[in-house]
Amino acid sequence: MKSVLYRAKTTHRIPARARAAASSGFTLLELMIVLAIIAVLAAIAYPSYNAYVLRGSRAAAQACLMQYANWMEQYYTANLSYAKDVKGADNPLSSTPVALVLDCATAQKTGGRYSYTFDITATSYLLRATPKTADTQCGDLTLDQAGTTGTVASCWK
């Protein structure tokens, strides 16, 4: 007769509590590492985002100054003066408060980030956009009747 060797199956029993703890999720250390990584990424991304928003707002304010300059040139063409019309009435931009607000300067566009002022004489004007929050790189943006831009030249690129 042939003898057959049987091997007894051995099963290792792991207590239910240990099984649940081993497969129940993340450890505190793993969560802290993930939070640290997210914090580092946020510390890098947030200043870049703010700089991007500032550049976009600055470009919108420059475009708005150019729209005001276009309006001033049309006014001069019709009245041969920047300060008064042919009937002697003051330019709507020279009144306080300003009687004419272009769409670009409304609060929904650039008016929430920039305030606009106008220095107008019969033969010249100076348009100024002042940031409501600090813009340490460019400060006030200006544009005059000759097309001369003020502040840092790189701010008008």
Q: Which residue would you say has higher pLDDT here, 150 or 37?
A: 37
32-59 confidence digits (pLDDT tens): 999 999 999 999 999 999 889 888 999 9
110-145 confidence digits (pLDDT tens): 888 999 999 999 999 999 999 998 888 888 999 999
Q: Where are the domains of the chain?
A: 27-156
pLDDT band at 29 (very low <50, low <70, confident <90, very high): very high
The phi, psi pair for 26, rounded to 5°, reads -100, 150
On the 0-12 / 13-18 / 19+ scale of CB atoms within 10 A, 74 is: exposed
What does pTM read for this prediction?
Answer: 0.73
